[in-house]
Each structure stands twice: as C-alpha cells, then as structure tokens.
Amino acid sequence: MAKLYFYYASMNAGKSTTLLQADFNYRERGMTTMLWTAQLDDRGGDKAIESRIGLHAEANRFAAGTDLWERVMASHRTQPLACVLVDEAQFLTKEQVWQLARLADEGGIPVVCYGLRTDFQGELFPGSAALLGIADALVELKGVCHCGRKATMNLRVDASGAAVKQGAQTEIGGNDRYVALCRKHFSEALSA
C-alpha cells in the first residue's frame, strides 16, 4: 500500500539533498519518478530543485491553483510512476495535501514530501500543518544550531544579520536571509 510521507526540518538540514538521493535511488533501478517544487521559489532557475551541496534536478512547479491529482495521474497513465517527490512542501495548500494523500490512497503511488515545519515566527505553514495532520509517516531530519543542539527553528535576518520579527510568512531566501537555530537561541534572538 502506497503512503504519504512528510520529511520536515529547519533550513539547512539536507531536505533537498535527501529528496534528490531518493530520486536517484529510484531512477538507478529503472523506475520513473515525478518531482515537484513550489513555483514561487525560483532560486534554482532551470535546475528547479537544488541542494546546497550542488546536487540538482529539473522538477514540475506547483502554484496554489495546481491540481496535483490531475497532473500526476495524467503522467501516471502515460508512464507508471514509482514515486512522487515534493520539495518545498510547506507551500502546498491544504487541498493539495489531500490531493497527494489521494494519489497514495487511490492512485497507489507513494508520495514523499520535504519541507519546513514552521516559519520565521515559529508558526506552522498551511501545507506543513496539513501534512503533520494526515501523513502516514512523519520523519524529522536534523539540522544543527551554532551551539551544537538540534536546530528546529528558522530565524529570518536582515542584511546586517539582525533578527526580523515581523513580515509576510513567505519570503524566499537562503543563508543570506535565514539561520537555523535551536529553540533557545531562536527565542533569545527574537527577544534581543
């Protein structure tokens, strides 16, 4: 029976690297996969999914209105898929998460999602909240804070490195805009 998986972590914990390794493993065995990532994150350009260690792959892009059930099943009917892999899953809508669950339940296709659990204020992203609620398996990947503890939080910083305490939930950026921290150092940075 196919399942819906959610691998979550802070930034810089290797989510995209893990996704690309899983994709490689399927393809190495002659199996077909389908990769997805958020349309709003265009930092990878043509590479679409790109890890900090230099691995990359092309992927389909989803927006809030993308019907993942229809798009994946159309591809699956042409060439059977062994797995669907979704990067930046925090940007999925609740409806899209249910579409992915349907792919596993009715389509018989394993779906593996990778994303952030919380935003720069410690609040759940809508896609992450839905995945935490209905995924068959939850797997936490470990990031590391500068103190050596497990990083679970994502601190947004400005150009000078100061903590940003307010703003839109979604602002695309990498190491220039976010720092992965343990909860203690995240709280200290926000209260400074």
Half-sphere exposure (Cβ direction) of 137: Cα atoms closer than 13 Å:
14
Q: Are 68 and 127 in contact (CB under 8 A)?
A: no
Say whether 123 is catalytic. Answer: no
Separation between Cα atoms, residue 158 and residue 35, nearest integer Å: 32
Separation between Cα atoms, residue 177 and residue 157, nearest integer Å: 5
Residue type at 3 in one-letter notation: K
The single residue of 28, 58, 88, 95 carrying the catalytic annotation is 88
Q: Nearest 5°: phi and psi at 67?
A: -90, 95
Q: Are 41 and 171 in contact (CB under 8 A)?
A: no
Beta bridge partners of 155: 179
Q: 39, exposed or middle or buried, with CB in 10 Å at 0-12, 13-18, 19+? A: middle
Catalytic residues: 88
